[in-house]
């Protein structure tokens, strides 16, 4: 299948690579040409604009930071919409706004181009191993048609409902994990200050009903080691929490806890921590209590 792929960063690049390895013919575009070098070496063709990446493609993917970037590539000058042919399918893998996704869907309907929102979960490791969860919204017939392509990049492909449903599910998913990154340090500090070794405490919680991916899969390689080299950046995390609180406001929902957690991310951004790993938000609580949550192996 001829595929256009736009946005070949930390997560987009390995997804694009898996599509090539799956036998698909890729045309790639990124603002940083160097981000596509390995893909070109594998046989991908470079396109200087999203419009040219979409031209002649049966499926076009985007993997971008957020709604502003997605709308620019989908609807702006030299956009996918300008290059895509009737019958093509545009699939957005980014974490974006449901309302923005629905606007794009409506704009593309006029040209006969189908749109799916398909945000991914699993981070860089999931992208590298093709073990991502993919939460898909859009027309069921279109989803069924492109599922084999999606299975090249993820092993958990879930149909979530009409257009925008994938974004809603991803926003809810990320709100859980990003809230825990703020809340869990309070829990762990409580246990440590009460005299329990951090590794023992984490293992005990992880074996009980309090287990979570943040505690078992994320903190051991980041917070517990004092390692905040960017994987999933604080900038992106703050954007995702904001997407959740924005959606709550659109729906008129009280979201006291989510808004409180969002302010912790805002504070971390104001301290200039945006380019670091999202778990660096936990260090704000460490400062307040004077307790470093580090294991003996750190």
Cα(286)–Cα(127) distance, integer angstroms? 31
Phi/psi of residue 43, each to 5°?
A: 115, 0
Name the residue with tokens 């090249």.
Answer: 152
Report DSSP state, residue 91.
E
Query: Distance of CA 275 to CAs 13, 237, 238, 271, Å?
Result: 19, 11, 11, 11
Write out the two tokens for 272: 């200039």
Q: 204: exposed, middle or buried (C-beta count within 10 Å: 0-12, 13-18, 19+)?
A: middle
Whats the size of the chain, residue-wise? Answer: 298
Say whether 85 sits in a helix, a strand or coil. Answer: coil
The residues annotated as belonging to the active site are: 170
């Amino acid at each position: 299948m001829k595929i256009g792929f736009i946005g070949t960063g930390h997560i987009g690049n390995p997804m694009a690579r898996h599509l090539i390895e799956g036998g698909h013919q890729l045309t790639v575009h990124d603002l940083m040409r160097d981000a596509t070098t390995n893909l070109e070496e594998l046989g991908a063709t470079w396109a200087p604009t999203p419009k040219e990446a979409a031209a002649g493609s049966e499926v076009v993917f985007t993997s971008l930071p957020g709604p502003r970037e997605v709308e620019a590539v989908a609807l702006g000058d030299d956009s996918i919409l300008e290059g895509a042919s009737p019958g093509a399918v545009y699939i957005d893998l980014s974490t974006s706004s449901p309302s923005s996704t629905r606007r794009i869907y409506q704009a593309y309907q006029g040209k006969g181009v189908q749109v799916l929102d398909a945000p991914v979960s699993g981070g860089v490791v999931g992208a590298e191993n093709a073990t991502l969860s993919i939460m898909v919204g859009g027309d069921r017939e279109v989803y069924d048609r492109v599922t084999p392509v999606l299975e090249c990049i993820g092993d958990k492909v879930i149909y979530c409902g009409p257009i925008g449903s994938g974004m809603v599910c991803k926003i809810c998913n990320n709100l859980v994990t990003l809230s825990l990154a703020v809340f869990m340090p309070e829990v762990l500090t409580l246990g440590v200050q009460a005299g329990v070794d951090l590794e023992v405490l984490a293992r005990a919680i992880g074996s009980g009903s309090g287990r979570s991916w943040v505690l078992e899969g994320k903190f051991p390689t980041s917070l517990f080691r004092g390692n905040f080299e960017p994987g999933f950046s604080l900038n992106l995390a703050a954007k995702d929490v904001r997407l959740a609180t924005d959606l709550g406001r659109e729906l008129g929902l009280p979201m006291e806890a989510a808004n409180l957690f969002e302010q912790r991310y805002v504070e971390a951004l104001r301290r200039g921590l945006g380019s670091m790993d999202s778990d660096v938000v936990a260090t704000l609580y460490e400062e307040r209590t004077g307790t470093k949550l580090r294991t003996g192996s750190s």
